[in-house]
Structure 1
Amino acid sequence: MGVAVPFPETQPAGYEWFDDEPAFDPERHLQLEEPEEVVMLADLGYDPAEIATKATQVAASSPFRILSDEGATVMLGVARRLRSLARPAGNRIERMSRGGCYRSRWLRDLCTSPEVSDHLERIYGTAISPHPMPVHLGHINYEPSTIDTAVDKWHHDTLPLDYVMTVTDPALVPGGRFEYFLGTKHEAATLAAQDRTPPPGRTAVPEFGGPGYAIALHGDMVVHRAAPLAELTERISMVNGYIALDTSRDDQSRTADLIIVDDHESLWTEWAKTAAWRARGQLQSLIDELEFTSDRDAVIAALESAVGDVRRAIDEMRAGEKMTEHYGG
């Protein structure tokens, strides 16, 4: 497993570690299994030219097991403990918790586990790292307060890659199923412009085997949601983010959406480090690969491209708050 940016050794202001939880033990808490199938971006209708610039050609896997029974029990306990910190994510999610990896060492160690990262790396078919922004590690969604509201509306993610894990037992939850669109995000945007959402006939609804099962997702490219509940009950899922180590790939992030979502005590620094990491990789490629040329404009363009993530981060930080994007429903 590669590491883009190491997890911080210190915590942001206002965060304290839970002092009475078990230590994460991969031998006891993991039970990694293989997915039965993988859906590719091409299967959803994406063009080869667009696919070529992305982190992986994979769109989504079928559900597979990550946690053992004991691990699933600990995960549920951590999620319940973090519930008191839940808040909205714009107008997309009514109740969610982020930054939990600055509070729970168990959650941090699960979300940065090399065993899980290596497992997902084989599924994605590309070198990955746990996301360098810890706010993207261990994101937890909770049930809304009414049954006429989706747990999480149709959207594509603000990060490239992730897994979506059931924390509560889906067999005990009426409704609230994870669904994804069998089409592109461009098609979803067209539907949204017509005040429509992905139709049931073009929606996949994977069957999760229990708590601690997950689906590997190309989150930036696959439009998905957690549907409304049929009855009000506890419904919890966890999303853990990853990033391709190849910095020549598209950034595939909408970090500006997080300004109204995440704690600014951590967001700005995490964002800056991630942009700097991507720029460092692209600048190193320029050092290694730039040939002699009299084409000044080509050299300028290469430099601008190498620092593009940094310049965009600065511009978006200065621009300030924007509403989180989604496709409704």
Structure 2
Amino acid sequence: MTSFEAVTFPEARPSGYDLLTDEPVFDPERHLALTEPESVTTLRDLGYSDGDVVGTATDVAISSPIRILSDEGADVMLTTARRLRAFGRAAGDRIERSVRGGVYRSAWLRDLCLSPEVAAHMSAVYGTEVAPHPMGVHLGHLNYEPSVIDAAVDKWHHDTLPLDYVMTVTDPTITPGGRFEYFVGTKAEAAALRDAGEKPPVDRVVAPGLPGPGWAVAMHGNMVVHRGGPLTAEAERITMVNGYVALDPMRHHQSRTVDLLGVDDPEVLFTEWTRFAAWRTTARLQALIDDIGFGIRPDEAAAALTEAVHEALAAAEEMQRSDHRTEHYE
């Protein structure tokens, strides 16, 4: 695939998702100021083995800070996030207030999140071709400060999607606490610490120095354990997360969409989940059509077909689960 959209963003909006009025038009020339990372940390740097890395979207774990938005773009982003705050609600037991599906309410946020310029830039950072995530709930996710300062903005966790960037919307240089932090270790190590009643030790926690609003880190969200730390005083603190997928359908989808049951609006979630699973399955079936040769044994043919449709069948089963659980390390 060569398009920067794995699945074309729908023209229709879910019921009750009215667009904000009086928004500026997203202009990449005015609103973007893309910069390269000075360095990247790999999954192996975090302690993952070759076996852990094979089949994932990329070996990149997390980048040093990169700039996404210009000063003007950062101002628009802050205004947009403040206007969307009214639609916030808890994201399971992890985050007290977040907004998901904001791309159905803000045309400016939608166009930023679908920007081919940013997608191309992220492809270069990750070293593999990526596209904005086909599920709109993973585009422009907004996290807001909690109501009490001694609570972490977001618990130690890894994301429900493979790739994303975490961008500061408010100015981190003047925010009291609320640092974005990641664990220099693996998910298995984080789980072992949790099971022992412990958290990642301070000497294995990194807080990238984000220079200002509109700056971000590109992250392998499904593999990097991270959090938003607690504030030390009452303050506005907003971040935006935008999701991506590798365009190679043979790579693992690295998604825990089932965690979104009870978090996202069902009217939005099940439609987007179906489209995502169908896109992945269609691409895998097409690869089978293109590549299968003569002389294949019956068991090989059956295995190839089963593997091609496995994700769609797994999604259909997960959609009917009644338990609502968000995975984290606290």
TM-score (norm 1): 0.98
Structure 2 matches for 1:1-329, cutoff 5 A?
Answer: 2-293=4-295, 295-328=297-330
Per mean C-alpha deviation after superposition, the further-off stretch among 125-134 and 299-308 is: 299-308
Distance in 2 of aligned mates of 1:198 and 1:214: 22
Asked if structure 1 preserves the Cα contact closer than 8 Å seen for 2:40 and 2:60, the reply is yes
Distance in 2 of aligned mates of 1:326 and 1:58: 22
Asked if structure 1 preserves the Cα contact closer than 8 Å seen for 2:5 and 2:114, the reply is no
Distance in 2 of aligned mates of 1:192 and 1:218: 21
Summarize deviations over 1:150-186 as a string: whole Å, max 9, x none.
1010000000000000000001111100000111111
Spell out structure 1 runs of 4+ moving beyond 6 A: none
Cα offset, 1:257, TM superposition? 0.7
Between the two proteins, the alignment pairs up a number of residues equal to: 328
% identical equivalent positions: 60
Q: Which runs of 5+ in 2 are unaligned?
A: none
Distance in 1 of aligned mates of 2:118 and 2:291: 33
SS state at 1:302 partner: helix
Asked if structure 2 preserves the Cα contact closer than 8 Å seen for 1:23 and 1:106, the reply is yes
Cα offset, 1:19, TM superposition? 1.6
Cα offset, 1:294, TM superposition? 5.3
Cα offset, 1:3, TM superposition? 1.6
Q: Which runs of 5+ in 1 are unaligned?
A: none
Distance in 2 of aligned mates of 1:315 and 1:164: 31
SS state at 1:318 partner: coil
Distance in 1 of aligned mates of 2:296 and 2:141: 49
SS state at 2:24 partner: coil
Asked if structure 2 preserves the Cα contact closer than 8 Å seen for 1:179 and 1:226, the reply is yes
Distance in 2 of aligned mates of 1:209 and 1:298: 54
Distance in 2 of aligned mates of 1:278 and 1:248: 9
Distance in 2 of aligned mates of 1:248 and 1:189: 28
Cα offset, 1:291, TM superposition? 2.8
- Residue type of the partner of 1:299? A
Distance in 1 of aligned mates of 2:56 and 2:305: 21
Root-mean-square deviation (CA, aligned residues, Å) is 1.0
Summarize deviations over 1:115-157 as a string: whole Å, max 9, x none.
1111110000001000000000000000001112110100000
Distance in 2 of aligned mates of 1:237 and 1:324: 20
Asked if structure 1 preserves the Cα contact closer than 8 Å seen for 2:64 and 2:217, the reply is yes
Cα offset, 1:286, TM superposition? 1.2
SS state at 2:173 partner: helix
